[in-house]
Amino acid sequence: MLFTVEQASFQLNVSKATVYSKLKQNKFKGKTVMEQGQTMLNEALINQIKLELKVTKREPQETATDKVNTEDSNSEQTVLRLNNKLYNALLEQLEKKDVLLLELNERLNQAQKLIENGQTLLQKPQQDLKLLEEHNKEVDEKLMSMQEKLNTPQETQKGFWTSLFSRN
């Protein structure tokens, strides 16, 4: 029967690195089998490594399913803690974003008021200019009428007494 390096390290009660370092020694080279990209060891090779390491019999430990169950419950608790932390962090970020959005909204309102004021100021000179043009036209018309009056010959006005005693 063939075992993976991980299974062999579990049987020998040593780390995988220790098993790999033993397999690199000249006396164990070429005795491994590669299967599906994994280094596989047979029972005889594991026994040789065991003798080399002078490993004593391993005490019965938790079974793999017990380990998985405790790891699952630990991982579930860890996941729950992480989820709670993540949830709290996201809530904080949302609160900060809300504050930022309120500030940006206020800035937008202020900018809109400034734009409206600027447009009003731009329109006012145009209105003033129109009023000035109308006033200038009126003044021009009055000047033209006065000039016409000056240019046209007028009858000399006779005084009251002169017209009274005139011989016509």
Predicted confidence (pLDDT) per residue in 60-111, tens digit: 455 556 565 666 677 888 889 999 999 999 999 999 999 999 999 999 999 9
The reply to whether the predicted model has a pTM over 0.85 is: no
Angle formed at CA 89 by CA 86 and CA 95, multiple of 5 degrees: 140
Q: What is the pLDDT of residue 100?
A: 95
Q: Is residue 33 part of a domain?
A: yes
Is 13:48 a contact under the CB 8 Å cutoff? Answer: no
Half-sphere exposure for 85 (CA within 13 Å, toward CB): 6
Q: Is residue 138 part of a domain?
A: no
Distances in whole angstroms, Cα of residue 27 to Cα of each of 10, 23, 43, 80 = 22, 8, 16, 50
How do residues 116-153 score in pLDDT, each as one tens digit?
988 888 877 778 888 889 999 999 999 998 888 888 76
CATH assignment at residue 18: 1.10.1660
Is 66:33 a contact under the CB 8 Å cutoff? Answer: no
Q: Which residues contact 42 (CB under 8 A, 6 or more apart)?
A: 1, 2, 3, 31, 33
Which structural domain range is residue 15 located in?
2-57
Is 5:31 a contact under the CB 8 Å cutoff? Answer: no
Q: Is residue 18 part of a domain?
A: yes
Q: Is residue 24 part of a domain?
A: yes
Q: Is residue 31 part of a domain?
A: yes
- Our count of domains for the chain comes to 1
Least confident of 11-20, 46-55, 67-76, 112-121: 67-76
Q: Is residue 112 part of a domain?
A: no
Q: Is residue 88 part of a domain?
A: no
Q: Is residue 50 part of a domain?
A: yes
Mean pLDDT, the chain, whole residue set: 83
Residue 155: is its pLDDT beyond 70? no
